[in-house]
Amino acid sequence: MKTVYKTLTQATAIVALATALSLGVNALRPDGLPLVEARPSAVQRDQSSDEISIKDAAMLFASGRAVFLDARSQFEFEQGRIQGAISLPPREFASQFQDIKPRLTGKEVVITYCDGERCPLNHALAEHLRGAGLKNVRVLKNGWTLWTTEKLPVEKGS
């Protein structure tokens, strides 16, 4: 019985120490998790530009606060895309937007992407979205390449 009590005491001490250390580290980190109430977003967006960095896009993805719209062709979309992304090539905007619109509600930001430094599709899609009344639309320049280079979550298929 003494051995069980001793083991429980040691386990409790280890858990208490680990909890204290983790709370201390969290308090010292500039991007620590809020324990009582949410702090303002760590994502800083330049209001003069419609582009977003891969770091900020990844943070919004991880927190579930963004929806990603793939401006590439359906073929490219099926070959690989950001996990959970929705296909919406700019040339199909008029016919598909009303079906996709409900999936955009409740998200802090809509992020469009295509592939390549000079790909114009993501900017064209962002303009369509703004024209349809969406306010917080950002462009992830060279999105697909950056996303895969950073080894962020992807999926394939239809």
**Claim to verify: residue 29 and residue 71 sit in the same structural domain:** no
Residue 84 resides in a domain = yes
Query: Phi/psi at 128 (nearest 5 deg)?
Result: -60, -45
How far apart CA 33 and CA 48 sit, in angstroms, is 29
List pLDDT tens digits, range 52-97.
999 999 999 999 999 999 999 999 999 999 999 999 999 999 999 9
Same domain, 35 and 58: no
Residue 41 has pLDDT above 60, yes or no: no
Q: State the pLDDT at residue 20.
A: 84
Q: Are residues 70 and 8 in the same domain?
A: no
Residue 71 sits in the same domain as residue 100? yes
Written as six digits, the tokens of 80 are 């690989």
Domain that holds residue 79: 54-155
Q: Compute the distance between CA of residue 120 and CA of residue 124 in angstroms, rounded to an integer.
A: 6
Strands 154-155 and 81-82: antiparallel
- Are the C-beta atoms of 41 and 132 separated by less than 8 Å? no
**Residues 60, 67: Cα–Cα separation, whole Å:** 9
Shared-domain flag, residues 125 and 69: yes
Number of domains in the chain: 2
- Provide the token pair at 130: 């703004």
Q: Is the pLDDT of residue 42 over 80?
A: no
Partners of residue 94 on adjacent β-strands: none
Q: pLDDT grade, residue 18 (50/70/90)?
A: confident
pLDDT at 2: 76
